[in-house]
Amino acid sequence: EQPNVTTYNAMALVIVTLEAFGGMWINAFIVSVICMAWVKKKTLNSNEKILLLLGCSRFWYLCISWIYAFLSIIYPNYLHIHPTRQTAEGVHSFFNCSNLWVSACLCVFYCTKIAIFRNSFFIYLKVKIDKLVPALLLGSVLFSLVIGILVYNISDKWQCKNSTGSGNSWKVKFQMDEQFLPIYFFTGFGYATAFMAVIFSALLLLFSLWRHKRNMQTNSMKDLSVDAHIKAMKSILSFLAMYIINCTSFIVTMIYESQGENPTMFVIYVCLYAFPGVHSLILIFSNPKLEKTLLRVLSCVRCKVCLR
């Protein structure tokens, strides 16, 4: 049985490493391009501000996740040192929550900027959204910080209770769940709020796109707003799929975490590490500036490889 566990761990580490470093490279590329534009223009528009914070949060999320996975597989005993596991889980939760909330802000921003409605509140929001973006991003970071601190405290008390418990792990876990139920509710409420924001953004964009295309059926000229609708929909729907998988993974993780190496958990971790990079790649190809820069970089790399 030990060789099977070793093979499982080795395969998991290889796949997680490839996905994590691939996603880190993609998000580092987004951050680098936006930072260079920031230095050149001395300012950033609202879309670039959101993408910059999103790229940073996803880069560090993947970095911390890989370090935690590496320690769990290669040096599992190191995680039993008191501050290590709690700090890793707290920081991981901070960047994961920041990733989800900033992504939700991006979806709301796309919907507000691109969707076409004659409602007075929507028009007011469309005018004011650029001024609201810094407040939305600050709120996302602060909420994520609160979640990270709560998770750190939960992990700390859970480990203390588990190490001094009577050995009945189910009883200890039940008591822990009962004690921290309000914190779980608060965290779940925050995640559900971001999820609903993405759902409404996707539905509003779909309805706006459908109505706009119906009005343009008699016009043979290509309408640029239709392309903008479609690009925004790709980004929002891809994030929606990521969010659904992430929430499902969170629930499945709680169910299977006590079963050790499990094929279900392996698939879950593969999906969790893949989506931050995949969604960021979709964002790159939805942004003309980022897409053009990426293609130019890949062209230069290919030329250098051919010359060698």
What value does the mean pLDDT of the chain take? 78
pLDDT digits (tens, 9 = 90+) for 254-299: 555 545 555 666 677 777 788 888 888 888 988 888 888 888 888 8
Examine the pLDDT at 171 and tell me if it is beyond 50.
Answer: no
Mean pLDDT calculated for residue range 63-88: 82
CA distances from 38 to 33, 42, 120 (A): 9, 5, 34
Taking the mean position of all CA atoms in its chain, how far away is CA 167? 36
DSSP 8-state symbol, 217:
T
pLDDT digits (tens, 9 = 90+) for 30-51: 999 999 999 998 899 999 999 9
Q: Using CA atoms, how far apart are residues 56 and 37, in angstroms rounded to an integer?
A: 16
Q: CB atoms < 10 A from the CB of 41, how many?
A: 10
pLDDT band with cut points at 50, 70 and 90 for residue 234: confident
Global pTM value: 0.83
Which of residues 177 and 43 earns the better pLDDT score? Answer: 43
Residue with tokens 């009577």, as numbered in its chain: 166
pLDDT digits (tens, 9 = 90+) for 84-118: 778 888 888 899 889 889 988 998 998 898 888 88
Q: Using CA atoms, how far apart are residues 58 and 53, in angstroms rounded to an integer?
A: 9
The predicted structure's pLDDT at residue 135: 94
Mean pLDDT calculated for residue range 224-250: 72
The predicted structure's pLDDT at residue 170: 41
Structure tokens at 115: 């969707």
pLDDT band with cut points at 50, 70 and 90 for residue 14: confident
Are 150 and 187 contacting, i.e. CB atoms less than 8 angstroms apart?
yes
**Three-state helix/strand/coil letters over 137-204:** HHHHHHHHHHHHHHHHHHHHHHHHHHHCCCCCHHHHHHHHHHHCHHHHHHHHHHHHHHHHHHHHHHHH
Q: Using CA atoms, how far apart are residues 135 and 31, in angstroms rounded to an integer?
A: 20
Are 143 and 157 contacting, i.e. CB atoms less than 8 angstroms apart?
no
Structure tokens at 40: 């050149």
Are 12 and 266 contacting, i.e. CB atoms less than 8 angstroms apart?
yes
Structure tokens at 193: 């709020």
Are 187 and 95 contacting, i.e. CB atoms less than 8 angstroms apart?
no
Mean pLDDT calculated for residue range 242-261: 63
DSSP run (H or E) holding 53: helix 46-74
Sorted by where each starts, the structural domains of the chain and their CATH numbers stand as 5-161+179-307 (1.20.1070.10)
